[in-house]
């Protein structure tokens, strides 16, 4: 089943389709006025935009399309100013802003500087120094402000994405982050075969801690448990809060036997740790190895079944 198109895809499709339509109209008007050379240039631009529109529609390769679109805008704008004259300079300003929207700020800055330098040299041939300096300074200011705005926007998006994937209590990954990670790991597993496991952890009788000591103490126990697990697992492994008192360690790029050894190590560390209020905690753990036909739900489900086997066997065990 084909996934729904992203906002970026839709915007690119609209931009390229609209550019195709508008430039085609200009090409027809030029042809009607017997301005054949310019009509051909506009037609080439229109056809290129149509190709880009079709490319993004068929392949859905957003990053490639954005870069190609930005590069083409630089070439088309430069050629338009060189051939049509000084009045085409007005296209510089929307194109500069568009490039910062399309590609990362650093890449956009490099292309903008190239565009501004090239066009400044071209227009210096047909206008005086004051006009050249005015255009140079205003385009540089447009580029600078665009860089500041889009760089700030990019950082805010990254901050929002981080907040959306982090559990606020434990600072581990949340359920959303886990779902994405599982999907990415399974996709990579389809491309290359290797052993891979996940560990599903449940704090035994955690509800009693909340009931007897209060939720603040319970929260502290959960945070401390997560910190202890982080300290004693490999850097490449990730910890996620799956539910209230359920945690997932994954991916473990190892076979089932080795993953169970890691799980047993975690179980022992938590069992031997003394929490605030002299609280002692044990863990029930299920370890599941990835199977070729696994979906994220099936993989987690098998680990969950093993975890409940550990609970039924008396808790404080690894299955």
Look at residue 107 and tell me whether its pLDDT is greater than 80: yes
Structural domain boundaries in the chain:
7-165, 175-312
pLDDT tens profile 269-298: 999 999 988 999 999 999 999 988 888 999
**Catalytic pick from 63, 245, 276, 304?**
245
Asked about 245 being catalytic, the answer comes back as: yes
What pLDDT is stored for residue 237 in this prediction? 63
SS3 per residue for the chain? CCCCCCHHHHHHHHHHHHHHHHHHHHHHHHHHCCCHHHHHHHHHHHHHHHHHHHHHHHHCCHHHHHHHHHHHHHHHHHHHHHHHCHHHHHHHHHHHHHHHHHCCHHHHHHHHHHHHHHHHHHHCCCCCHHHHHHHHHHHHHHHHHHHHHHHHHHHHHHHHHHHHHECCCCCCECHHHHHHHHHHHHHHHHHCCCCCEEEEEEECCHHHHHHHHCHHHHHHHHHHHHHHHHHCCCCCCEEEECCCCEEEEEEECCCHHHHHHHHHHHHHHHHHCECHHHCECCEEEEEEECCCCCCHHHHHHHHHHHHHHHHHCCCCCEC
Look at residue 313 and tell me whether its pLDDT is greater than 90: yes
pTM of the model: 0.61
Look at residue 112 and tell me whether its pLDDT is greater than 90: yes
Q: What is the mean pLDDT of residues 110-114?
A: 93
Q: What is the mean pLDDT of residues 142-162?
A: 85
Q: What is the mean pLDDT of residues 101-107?
A: 88
What pLDDT is stored for residue 1 in this prediction? 45
Look at residue 183 and tell me whether its pLDDT is greater than 70: yes
Higher pLDDT, 26 or 260: 260
Provide the mean pLDDT of the chain. Answer: 88
Fold of 175-312: Alpha-Beta Plaits (3.30.70)
Range of lowest pLDDT (22-31, 155-164, 238-247, 258-267): 155-164
**pLDDT band, very low/low/confident/very high, at 239 (cuts 50, 70, 90):** very high
């Amino acid at each position: 089943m084909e996934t729904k198109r992203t906002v970026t895809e839709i915007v690119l499709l609209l931009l390229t389709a609209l550019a195709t339509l508008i430039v085609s109209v200009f090409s027809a008007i030029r042809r009607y006025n017997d301005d054949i050379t310019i009509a051909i240039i506009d037609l080439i631009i229109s056809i290129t935009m149509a190709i880009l529109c079709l490319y993004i529609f068929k392949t859905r390769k957003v990053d490639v399309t954005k870069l190609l679109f930005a590069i083409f805008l630089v070439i088309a704008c430069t050629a338009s100013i060189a051939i049509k004259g000084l009045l085409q300079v007005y296209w510089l300003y929307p194109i500069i802003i568009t490039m910062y929207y399309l590609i990362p700020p650093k890449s956009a800055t490099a292309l903008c500087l190239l565009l501004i330098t090239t066009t400044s040299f071209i227009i210096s041939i047909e206008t005086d120094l004051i006009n050249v300096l005015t255009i140079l300074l205003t385009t540089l200011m447009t580029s600078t402000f665009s860089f500041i705005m889009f760089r700030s926007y990019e950082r805010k998006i990254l901050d929002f994405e981080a907040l959306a994937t982090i559990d606020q209590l434990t600072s581990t990954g949340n359920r959303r982050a886990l779902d994405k990670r599982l999907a990415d790991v399974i996709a990579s597993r389809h491309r290359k075969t290797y052993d891979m496991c996940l560990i599903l952890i449940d704090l035994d009788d955690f509800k009693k801690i909340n009931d007897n000591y209060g939720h603040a103490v319970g929260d502290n126990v959960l945070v401390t448990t997560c910190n202890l697990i982080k300290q004693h697992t490999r850097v490449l492994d990730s910890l996620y809060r799956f539910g209230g008192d359920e945690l997932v360690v994954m991916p473990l790029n190892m076979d089932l036997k080795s993953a169970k050894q890691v799980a047993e190590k975690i179980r022992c560390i938590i069992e031997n740790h003394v929490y605030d209020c002299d609280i002692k905690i044990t863990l029930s753990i299920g370890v599941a190895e990835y199977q070729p036909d696994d979906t994220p739900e099936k993989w987690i489900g098998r680990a969950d079944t093993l975890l409940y086997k550990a609970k039924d066997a008396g808790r404080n065990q690894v299955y």
